Amino acid sequence: MIVRLAVRSLVTRPLRSAVLSIGFGLSIAVMAELLGVGEVILEQAHSPALSGGGDIVLTGTIGPIDSARFVLTSVLASPALAPRVAAASPTRRGTVYLLSGNAGGPIAVRGGIPSRERAVGDPETAGVPAWADEPADALWIDAAPGDLLRAMDRFHPTPDSPQIASTDGPGSEAGGVARSSWAEWLYFNARSTDGLRRFYLTFITGPPAASGMRPAYVRLQLNQGGTTRNFSARGFVGDRELLDRAPDVDIAGNRVRVEPDGRYRITLALDADTGNPNPSSGLSGELVLTPAAGRSIPPATIRGARGWLSGYVVPVLSGAFTGTLHAGTEAIDASGMAGYHDHNWGYWEGVRWQWGQVTDGTTSIIYGRVFPPADVADPARVPGVLGVIGADGPIGFSTDVAIREDDDNGRPRTLTIESRDRRLDMTLRLEVSETVQTAMALTRDAAGSTMTFLQLGGVYRVTGRVAGREINFSARGSAETFRATTQ
């Protein structure tokens, strides 16, 4: 029928039909040309030459790569990738506003390291001999282990947002974030080979007061044979001093130092808490944590409504402690204890999490999930994550992760962590054998009940496949979770 109508129209009105046919043809041709031009523009927009040379451009999925130094040193320079990377150069784009007596306006600029830019073939810098590396560029070109860890482990200023209530208030009128719930801490844990001895050590600071001083605490929980003893100290630290020097921290005679080779040296002078069997006996000593090379997780920050945020970095995913602790007359040898160190910052009122880590010496695995308050983010939409790092650097990462906890009398007995990413198919099962409980006043569940923080220990059974590798081992590890205090 359509063909018959077209033929009759052509016979009865040939001129109109011809003009109409030409118009349709031109419109289709123009559309095809525009699609072709758009494809070329898209390809050029991703061209390495437009970004300063090189063959490959690495970018973040949602913006800049915040941990570019880590990518350069621990990923691209790892034994698995280093032989395939001829040169790499970090760059950053921004806007500079030029103001003069005659004119002014924004100018798009790009910064980089001159020697690295030339190495990747940047034509802009090739003919400018005066553009040379500065001393600060050495932190990118050949960073010492201690400098890299120090950059990852820095402390953060408390965000200055009008949507965040003062330290004296319970929260904003919209139910947002209380500034008083801001905290940032260095966390260390250690365990003996047989798992019978553990300690959990935290250097924690709160938000700065009007005087510029932050309240600060040091707490060590020592668990031996199922008995837990707590030791602590409290003091103040200057906000500016902390931001300038951390992770070098001094709190009430206790301190942390990062040495040039990347080792963490920790000096302790703590009082015994009143609940200890011998409350008159304090704890002192010196510990050294030696990291396993390349075992780090770069910084990451989760952000929610009204200025809420939660940040996390793992400078030492796997390491070993040496040193001795003295609890009264008892000497506790820490040599050979497996070590771990991470760093957290953010607003913690109403926040809880699930977390765990395990290593067999060659492969390190970490997983976790944060549950923010419902008025700043939907907890159901914050995914769990799981990362796998080997002796040669990162192996795999997944956000398709399920964490299940099976209880016995209101306390976890087994934890099952599953990743079903096509590139990281793995299952971890923890049989819990040690539990340390701590009341957390700021943390509440959805019903408003206070929560108890649980630090768990036991043996993980790990099976799966990642990046073409079979993973199959059992090893002791750690985990953290929460339960309602009434249980």
Split the chain (487 residues) into runs of 10 and give each run's mean pLDDT. 57 61 60 57 51 63 64 70 76 82 80 80 76 78 81 90 55 58 94 89 94 95 87 95 95 96 96 71 94 86 88 93 92 93 92 93 92 88 91 86 92 94 93 86 64 92 92 94 78
Backbone φ and ψ for 5, nearest 5 degrees, come out as: -65, -40
Peptide bond connecting 298 to the previous residue in cis, omega within 30 degrees of 0: no
pLDDT in the model for residue 473:
95
pLDDT in the model for residue 171:
41
- The answer to whether the beta carbons of residues 375 and 305 sit under 8 Å apart is yes
pTM score: 0.78
pLDDT in the model for residue 172:
41
Tokens coding 86:
């001829």
pLDDT in the model for residue 444:
60
pLDDT in the model for residue 294:
79
- The answer to whether the beta carbons of residues 137 and 113 sit under 8 Å apart is yes
DSSP state of 128: -
254-259 contact pairs (CB < 8 A, 24+): 254/203, 254/218, 256/186, 256/203, 258/146, 258/149, 258/150, 258/153, 259/146
Q: Please enumerate in sequence order all residues whose Cβ is within 8 A of that of 460, keeping only pairs 6 or more positions apart, or say none.
A: 356, 358, 428, 429, 430, 474, 475, 476, 477
CA separation for the pair 478, 458 (Å, rounded):
7
For residue 179, give the 3-state DSSP assignment: helix
- The answer to whether the beta carbons of residues 481 and 454 sit under 8 Å apart is yes
